[in-house]
Amino acid sequence: MSTDTETQEGGQSDEWFASAKKIYPMATHGLFRRIKWTLLFITLGIYYFLPFIRYDRGPDAPDQAVLVDLVHKRAYFFFIEIWPQEVYYLTGLLILAAVALFLMNAVAGRIWCGYLCPQTVWTDLFLWVERKIEGDRRDRIILDKEPWTFGKLAKRATKHFFWLMIAWWTGGAWVLYFSDAPTLVWQLLTFQAPLVAYTWIAILTATTYLLAGFMREQVCIYMCPWPRIQAALTDEKALNVTYRWDRGEPRGSLKQNNKLIEQGLPAGDCIDCYQCFQVCPTGVDIRNGLQLDCIQCGLCIDACDNVMTKVGKPTGLIAYDTDENIQRRIEGKESIYEIVRARTVIYAAIIALVGAIMLFALINRDFADISVLHDRNPVFVEQSDGTVRNGYTVRLANKRRHPRDFVLNVEGMPANTRVEAVGVENTFAGRPVIEVGPDTTREVRILVTSPPWEKMPSSTPVTFRITDSVMGEVVTAKDNFKAPDKP
């Protein structure tokens, strides 16, 4: 390596890092813009207002429809109540979410990225604020170049104020999912909320402000793994926001292309107006084809359709289409749309299967639970009357909102086996009746004593069965009864 020329332009290192090019997306209108506004209202509406929806669960239970109660270790979703040991429902949801993402991708590309991803939705909202205050693309480019004046300062200050307000509200809504919303709002207003609430609001205010105000497309291009995965999952039959180059090329200004047509030479419909590029929130030229930076929000479709209408050409030069169709049209064949194909069917089947399993688990969810732990020390106790006693630590869970009595039965032992629950005096037909309070667990020591002088094998499998004395619900757990290994 010859180092003498290396320093010539102040070294090379500057070129190894690229400053982000600022993007000034232009406003547009049309079908996809309307879809995006609608989805923005729905998703943000759900996010900001869901914690305020009430759902009556009876006395002594939170009446918030959606709540993650970290203090009492319960999660609520309308009629569903989840205990920490049932976190597998969350696993199921994550599997559903992942496969749903795959399915969306196989059907119509990055629907998630373009319309539903929080990064997209909040960036859209922030852009709207920016546009309202600083004007559209051209105005913003000019404003950026202007020297600092009072007017510029006022605009900038107003913009950041509104951004911060939205960001703050975003953080504020987040914490409402973890505590009773109306109470917490009041506590926040009177500065009596716990420190952790303020901390989380501050964190989410900062991330929202930073990610939606400044990072924007950088998040999609450099920080998010999904574009990479998506690129590996897509195929030539998946609908994607596509520039139909078979129709658009060769591109040229309206005048130039009209001239070409007069001369009987081939000319495309693309008039090279750059509208698709200017409305793009990630600064992509869709005419370069499917690319990682494109989040497929469809705004270039709107922009192009508007131009095509103005110049009197058919719309749809940029549209949801497939690579395969471009190839087919070039070969003079009809366009085909195959939504139903192996991968979409498989993804849909997986979603149906996981959904069915979750639904089944939810419908058949036990409202009682029992876990049994055999004493380790001592494993058994020989008593003066020739009996052998085993001790167990049994934990009963009552997931109902009222206290319940459970009758404990230990099966698999010889007749005349004694079963007692320490500290429990209530019995039914010689079996302990254990009361468990509403929505809680109770640990009880259970002593099982074999009949006097009965020869027990060194290990006997036993089943602990609890029966709700009123509702009849039955739950079981297995363990063993141990005895000395004597001839």
Partner 1 sequence: MADMHKNEIDRISGVETTGHEWDGLKELNNPLPRWWLYMFYACIVWAVVYWVLFPTWPMISGYTKGVLGSDQRTEAIAAFDEGVAGRSVFADKIIAASLEDISRDQELLQFALANGQAAFGDNCAPCHGSGGTGAEGYPNLQDDTWLWGGTLDDIHTTLLYGIRSENDEARIGEMPAFGRDELLSRDEVTQVANFVASRAGLETEDGVDLAAGQTLYVDNCAACHGDNLEGIQEMGAPSLMSANYLYGKSLDDIKAQVHSPRNGVMPAWVDRLDPATIKSLTVYVHSFGGGQ
User: With respect to partner 1, which residue has the nearer C-beta, 6 or 338?
Assistant: 6
How far apart CA 376 and CA 374 sit, in angstroms, is: 6
Contact criterion met (CB below 8 Å) for 392 and 419: no
Would you count residue 487 as binding partner 1 (CB under 8 A)?
no
Q: Is 435 exposed, middle or buried (0-12, 13-18, 19+ CB in 10 A)?
A: middle
In degrees and rounded to multiples of 5, residue 368 shows phi and psi of: -140, 160
Stretch that binds partner 1, among 120-128, 160-168, 380-388, 467-475 (CB under 8 A): 380-388
Stretch that binds partner 1, among 129-137, 306-314, 334-342, 440-448 (CB under 8 A): 440-448
How far apart CA 428 and CA 435 sit, in angstroms, is: 12
Give DSSP secondary structure letters for 133-190. HH-SHHHHHHHHHSPP-HHHHHHHHHHHHHHHHHHHHHHHHHHHTTS-HHHHHHHHHT
C-alpha angle with apex 76: 70 to 79, nearest 5 degrees? Answer: 165
How far apart CA 221 and CA 380 sit, in angstroms, is: 64
Would you count residue 146 as binding partner 1 (CB under 8 A)?
no
Would you count residue 151 as binding partner 1 (CB under 8 A)?
no
Would you count residue 405 as binding partner 1 (CB under 8 A)?
no
User: With respect to partner 1, which residue has the nearer C-beta, 17 or 148?
Assistant: 17
User: With respect to partner 1, which residue has the nearer C-beta, 56 or 385?
Assistant: 385
144, 236, 366, 382: which one binds partner 1 (CB under 8 A):
382
**What tokens does 226 get?**
């999904």
User: With respect to partner 1, which residue has the nearer C-beta, 136 or 375?
Assistant: 375
Dihedral sign (CA 383, 386, 388, 389): negative
Q: What would the x/- binding string for partner 1 be over residues 331 to 370, using CB under 8 A?
A: ----------------------------------------
User: With respect to partner 1, which residue has the nearer C-beta, 20 or 142?
Assistant: 20
Site for partner 1 in 163-202 (CB under 8 A): none
Q: Supply the minimum distance, in Å, between the C-beta of residue 384 and partner 1.
A: 4
Size of the site for partner 1 (CB under 8 A): 36
93, 265, 356, 381: which one binds partner 1 (CB under 8 A):
381
DSSP code for 54: B
Crossing angle of helices 150-176 and 195-210, in 10° steps, is 130
C-alpha angle with apex 247: 241 to 249, nearest 5 degrees? Answer: 100
Would you count residue 403 as binding partner 1 (CB under 8 A)?
no
Stretch that binds partner 1, among 23-31, 50-58, 96-104, 376-384 (CB under 8 A): 376-384
Would you count residue 422 as binding partner 1 (CB under 8 A)?
yes
Stretch that binds partner 1, among 141-149, 266-274, 381-389, 457-465 (CB under 8 A): 381-389
Q: What 3-state class would DSSP assign to 284?
A: coil
Contact criterion met (CB below 8 Å) for 383 and 475: no
How far apart CA 343 and CA 233 sit, in angstroms, is: 10
Q: Supply the minimum distance, in Å, between the C-beta of residue 449 and partner 1.
A: 8
**Residue 204: what residue type?**
L
User: With respect to partner 1, which residue has the nearer C-beta, 227 or 391?
Assistant: 391
190, 192, 263, 377: which one binds partner 1 (CB under 8 A):
377
289, 314, 386, 403: which one binds partner 1 (CB under 8 A):
386
User: With respect to partner 1, which residue has the nearer C-beta, 364 or 384?
Assistant: 384
**What tokens does 103 get?**
């399915």
User: With respect to partner 1, which residue has the nearer C-beta, 190 or 384?
Assistant: 384
Query: CA separation (Å) from 104 to 174, 224, 240, 348, 349?
Result: 27, 17, 11, 10, 14
Q: What would the x/- binding string for partner 1 be over residues 2 to 41, using CB under 8 A?
A: xx-xxxxx--x--xxxxxx---------------------
Would you count residue 207 as binding partner 1 (CB under 8 A)?
no
Stretch that binds partner 1, among 52-60, 147-155, 385-393, 455-463 (CB under 8 A): 385-393
User: With respect to partner 1, which residue has the nearer C-beta, 17 or 191?
Assistant: 17
User: With respect to partner 1, which residue has the nearer C-beta, 255 or 486?
Assistant: 486
Would you count residue 429 as binding partner 1 (CB under 8 A)?
no
Query: CA separation (Å) from 111 to 131, 208, 324, 379?
Result: 24, 22, 20, 60
Contact criterion met (CB below 8 Å) for 393 and 375: yes
147, 423, 472, 487: which one binds partner 1 (CB under 8 A):
423
Mapping DSSP onto H, E and C, the string for 439-454 reads CEEEEEEEEEECCCCC
Q: Residues in the site for partner 1, rule: CB under 8 A?
A: 1-3, 5-9, 12, 15-20, 215, 218, 222, 375-378, 381-386, 389, 391, 422-423, 442-443, 445, 447
